[in-house]
Every structure is written in C-alpha cells, then in structure tokens.
Structure 1
Amino acid sequence: MTSLDTTAVPPTVLARPAGTAGTLDARAVSAWFGDRKVLEQVSLLMPAGQVTALIGPSGCGKSTFLRILNRMHELIPGATLAGEVLLDGADIYAPERRLTAARRDIGMVFQKPNPFPAMSIYDNVVAGLKLTGVRASRPEKDQLVEECLTKAGLWREVQDRLRQPGGALSGGQQQRLCIARSLAVRPKILLMDEPCSALDPTSTRRIEQTVRELVHEVTIVIVTHNMQQAQRVSDQCAFFLAEQGTPGAIVEHGPTEAMFSTPVDQRTSDYVNGRFG
C-alpha cells in the first residue's frame, strides 16, 4: 500500500481553493471549418454551480461548441469563429488572455478516457500542475491526489495502487481518473463530451453521481445523447439542431424539467421523446 504524507497544505500553494465555480456566457458564437459554417449565432448562459446539458442529434455542433468554450477549436487547421465567450465577465479569447490560463480555468473530459497510459495513477492526477506552471511540494501533491481521487469517486478503489499505471484501470475508472486530473488544477468550469458513451451502466451511474457531487464546486457543461442522463444530471438543457444543411443552432434552452415536460418548440418535444435523432 502506498502511504501519503498528510502534512497540512498551506492555503496559498494552489492559486485558488476548490469550490470556485464560474459562470460561462457564450454570446453570438458562430464557427466555421474552412468555408463551411457549422454554428450560427449561439448564445447560452451557463450559470455557476449548475450542470448544463447540451443535447441534439449528431452533427448539430454540440461538441464544436464545447471545444470553443475552452479554446480547442482554434487548434484545428482552417477553423475560425466569431462571437464572445465570457468567463465571469472576462473574454477568454482576449489577446492578453493566455491559453494556459483559459485551459486551467476551463477543464475538459473527453468521450474516450485518455489517461497517460504508462504514467502512474498518482502522476496522472498531478500532471496538469506542471503544464499550467503550478508548483507544489510532495506533501501538497499527496493531499491533492487524495482529494481529487475522492471527489472523482475513485480513491477507495485505487488508494493501495497509486504507483500502478493509469492505463491498467477499467474504462470507467480511467474516466474518473481523467476527471480527477482535471480537478487537480482547480478549474472553475468542467466540460464533458459524452463522458459515459463508452461505459457500462454501472460505470455510467458512478460518473453521473460524481457529476452531481461536483457541481457544488465547479460548473459543468456536458454533451450527451442519452436523454435519461440529461434528465438525471442537469439543471438546464440546450437543444441544438442543424436542419437541411444549415449550421447548428440552439432551438430552445431552459430548465431541464421544463424542457422535457413542457417544451415550447415542437421540434424539442419530438427530439426528447425519441421521435427523431
């Protein structure tokens, strides 16, 4: 069993404490891949301390929108965008805004778990510290590893094998390890792109439980094709649709309960009730 040094961590080590959820505000966001427009004037407020679910058929721009929220879209050759993305009122695309700062504030968990396979569970969790320029002593890292693995619902399962490779974990455990890795840099926002699509029902339930537990300290935006999951985990939903070759846009958004019980647009009703998509 690997023992951790539980020496108290000075409060100034990591730039901000856990539990500092932020508000994201996308304003008139449009996006292109080369000459092809894929998003049209998308505006959406994602309130602090809530789960916002992005729903809609494949190809309607949900994942593109998610990547725009933490500046991954700009890494794609030929990709461009217009509009603003504000984090607590500050534009994440402002010239003076460093990319590393935006990525630290807005973490990302992908559809397929992507731990560093040859790196230990412990080192996977703290990997983001170096990438974002955060220095921490060994006792501080020890405490952070336990804290983040606990929040991701993984600590009890791996506490006695922290030096084993992260790639040796099951798929559901790897996804929770990726969540722990994202939490280690104290993000204000956590983006999740279909995090359960490749997982079994038991692992899916555990990830969903983790999402509901985390939302008290980090704002979560999740893309999902599972309507039951959207109902279970989210506070509000945004329904994206791209019709007849037009760019993706938001048809309707609002509180999750209302979106599923009394949607305003007939297309929303048809989609959430499984009549297309």
Structure 2
Amino acid sequence: MTDAPNLTADLPVARPAGTVPPGAAETTLTLPPVPSGAFADAPAEGLAGLETRDVSAWFGSHKVLERVSLGMAAGEVTALIGPSGCGKSTYLRILNRMHEMVRGAALAGEVLLDGDDVYRPGRRPAEVRRRIGMVFQRPNPFPAMSIQDNVASGLKLAGIKVGKEEREHLVESSLRRAGLWDEVATRLHTPGGSLSGGQQQRLCIARSLAVSPDILLMDEPCSALDPTSTRRVEETIAELRGRLTIVIVTHNMQQAQRVSQSCAFFLATHDTPGRIVEAGPTEQLFGSPRDQRTADYVNGRFG
C-alpha cells in the first residue's frame, strides 16, 4: 500500500485508511442459534481484548494522532478522556475501521483484536465492524421502523441471515442485554422514533449487540441525554461489563469514574497532535495521577 502523504518516514507502518485489498470478496456471515435466555448469566469466557501500537492518524496533511499505544482489557470498560479536539473520537473510529470512510484519512500503526491486526491485507471492514460495534453520540434508530425491526436491522447490515425463530430470540436477548426489554416488550411493533431519547440510545445499543460483537465502542453516548436516561445507560454499561469489552469516550469525569475500570487521558496542543499523556486504572488516574496535566484535567483546572 502507499504511504501517508509526506509524514510517515519515521513510522513503522503507513497506509491509507481507505484502502481495501484487491480480491477481498464480500461473504455472508452466519451465527449459531441463540438459545432462549443465553445472555442472562453468560460466563465471562472467550472475551476479546483490543490493543493499539503506535497508531498515528491524518486528515489530509493534518496529523491528529501521534503514536498512540494502548491496551484495552477484555471484559472491562476503558474510558477515553481529554479536552475536545484531542483525537479521542478519531481514535475510537480507527478501532473499527470507520476512520477510513472519511475522504483523505490515513493512518499508521496496528490495531490488534486478540493479537490480529484489523487492518492486515485481506481483512474485510464489514467483518471488523461486526466484531467491533459502535454506538454514537446521538441516538440514530430508524424512526419509522419498528422497535423489533430496528434491532434486527443490525443483522441485515452485517449480512447475517437467520430464521424467524432465531431472529425473535436475538431481538429479545439484545433488548434484555441493553436493559430495554421490560419497557418495550408489549410494543415491539411501534416505531423506534416513539421512544424517549434514553430509550432510543439503548435501542441503538441493542442493535449493536444483535450481531454478537466482541467489542462495543461508545462515543459520548450520554451527552444528549437527561440525568435519568444517563443513569439507565450507565446501568446498561455496568450490566454488559464482563460479557464484552467496552471502550467509551466521555467528557463527564464523574461518568468515567463510575463506569470504567481503566482510563486513558488524551491531550493535544495547537501545534502538536493528540497523544496519550497517561493511562492506567481509573482509580489511579483520578486518585493519584503521575502527570500534573492529568491531575489538572480530572480536577477541572482546564479543558
């Protein structure tokens, strides 16, 4: 592949994020049947971890991330914190190959899902995005589509074909895991747009869960929600912990403390790209940070 423009001579790997290897044919993915209640007490076994090594990123000639290396432990919640414009959301989108969807975007480095680079030649973006799901800042259900069909649409978007009975099991299981089933069980055929903002966000979580991802990325999922809805989404995150790996971007320091076990503090300046200042257990970053810049940020002295 070609190098990122004029900026990657010192980097071990460089490639345009939008490049798809020739001959990588699209195929339909299938999943085994999901037994009723399979997610109720799912054991924390076979969970996938995520790691980045020396990840740098550009939009055109503008470098936005510099050599970001971070491990995100399997079955835990990792919070990404830092001021606006320091590259947190870009980093999140790199993790499941959404960065490459932006014209002119490029990256260098490795993103390892259980040790396998998601950008290696022959790896299909659709397969990566099935295993690494995304929940966006603002709820984005299909408003005219029913609640049930909204959840099932995740299967269609991922190219997963299932029978009617299995589809019903997946819809119920996904809504239960997202903490929404009890609120919508009697109105599955009503439009998703009829739900409250917080319910719509949990519906989007259920849609992501329907394809059985290993990782769930969340980009400020509560920024547009009221305190009650925020609490329910945080409860959903707590319930999902240990059953899949979650990476969340948040500007709410109290939320980062409540929901995460690990935390990474990103920072950029007017003339330097975003990078990690400090990463480690959440309790340490908030209680006894090693870097004064971290202490200043988590205590509200800037940002």
TM bin, normalised by shorter chain, reads over 0.9
* TM-score normalised to structure 1 length: 0.93
Q: Pick from 118, 121, 127: which aligns with 2:144? A: 118
Question: Which of structure 1's runs of 4+ aligned residues deviate more than 2 A?
Answer: 11-14, 17-21
Q: Pick from 135, 160, 178: which aligns with 1:134? A: 160
Residue in structure 2 matched with residue 56 of structure 1 by the alignment: 82
* Distance apart, 1:245 and its partner CA: 2.3
Q: Pick from 103, 106, 111: which aligns with 1:85? A: 111
Q: Distance in 1 between matches of 2:192 and 2:78?
A: 29
Q: Pick from 230, 235, 242: which aligns with 1:216? A: 242
* Distance apart, 1:276 and its partner CA: 0.3
Determine if the alignment matches structure 1 residue 261 to structure 2 residue 281: no
Number of residue pairs aligned between Structure 1 and Structure 2: 265
* Distance apart, 1:21 and its partner CA: 2.7
SS of 2:242's partner is coil
Q: Pick from 257, 260, 270: which aligns with 1:234? A: 260
Q: Distance in 1 between matches of 2:122 and 2:104?
A: 23
Structure 1 contact 13–135 (Cα < 8 Å) conserved: no
Determine if the alignment matches structure 1 residue 168 to structure 2 residue 194: yes
Residue in structure 2 matched with residue 147 of structure 1 by the alignment: 173
Determine if the alignment matches structure 1 residue 206 to structure 2 residue 232: yes
Map Cα deviations across residues 33-63 of structure 1 (whole Å, 9 max, x no partner).
0010000000000010000000000000000
Percent of aligned pairs sharing the same letter: 69
SS of 1:247's partner is strand
Residue in structure 1 matched with residue 19 of structure 2 by the alignment: none
Residue in structure 2 matched with residue 3 of structure 1 by the alignment: none
Letter in 1 for 2:67: Q
Letter in 2 for 1:106: I
Q: Distance in 2 between matches of 1:139 and 1:273?
A: 51
**Structure 2 matches for 1:92-111, cutoff 5 A?**
92-111=118-137
Letter in 1 for 2:256: A
- Where relative contact order (Cα < 8 A, 6+ residues apart) is larger, the structure is 1
* Distance apart, 1:226 and its partner CA: 0.2
- Unpaired runs of at least 5, structure 1: 1-10
- Unpaired runs of at least 5, structure 2: 1-30
How much is the aligned-residue C-alpha RMSD, in angstroms? 1.2
Map Cα deviations across residues 61-115 of structure 1 (whole Å, 9 max, x no partner).
0000000000000010011000000000111011111111100000000000000
Q: Pick from 33, 37, 43: which aligns with 1:13? A: 33
* TM-score normalised to structure 2 length: 0.85
Q: Distance in 2 between matches of 1:13 and 1:33?
A: 42
* Distance apart, 1:265 and its partner CA: 0.1
Structure 1 contact 105–189 (Cα < 8 Å) conserved: yes
Q: Distance in 1 between matches of 2:246 and 2:87?
A: 18
